[in-house]
């Protein structure tokens, strides 16, 4: 399992270069699971969504392309903090 987290600004594109794994995506209300198992398909994850990678097959290899360089302050690593962030985000964008 890969630890769950979200980004405030960063966007990602995830590809299974070999093997397979699942990516669970959560907007704070709805949750969806994606199975990645082809190197010619990928999953785009916009900012503001919680993601968690699980169920890696033997020798699975994930390629994660990022829209930005690493910025620690952009990470949300606690799920409850993520839910609070989403509530505040929704209030500002109504």
Active-site residue, 30 included:
no
Residues near 20 by beta carbon (within 8 Å), at least 6 away in sequence: 35, 36, 37, 55, 56, 57, 60
Nearest to 7 by CA among 81, 92, 63: 81
Q: Which of 5, 11, 15, 85 is catalytic?
A: 5
Residue among 48, 54, 53 nearest 81 (CA): 48
Q: Which helix (H) or strand (E) holds 83?
A: helix 79-92
Tell me the catalytic residues: 5
């Amino acid at each position: 399992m890969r630890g769950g987290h979200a980004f405030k600004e960063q966007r990602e594109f995830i590809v299974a270069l070999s093997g397979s794994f699942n990516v669970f995506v959560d907007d704070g209300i709805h949750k969806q699971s994606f199975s990645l198992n082809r190197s010619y398909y990928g999953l785009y994850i916009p900012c503001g969504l919680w993601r968690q990678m699980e169920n890696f097959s033997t020798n699975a290899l994930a390629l994660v392309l990022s829209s930005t360089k690493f910025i620690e302050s952009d990470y949300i690593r606690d799920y409850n903090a993520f839910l609070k962030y989403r509530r505040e985000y929704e209030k500002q964008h109504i």
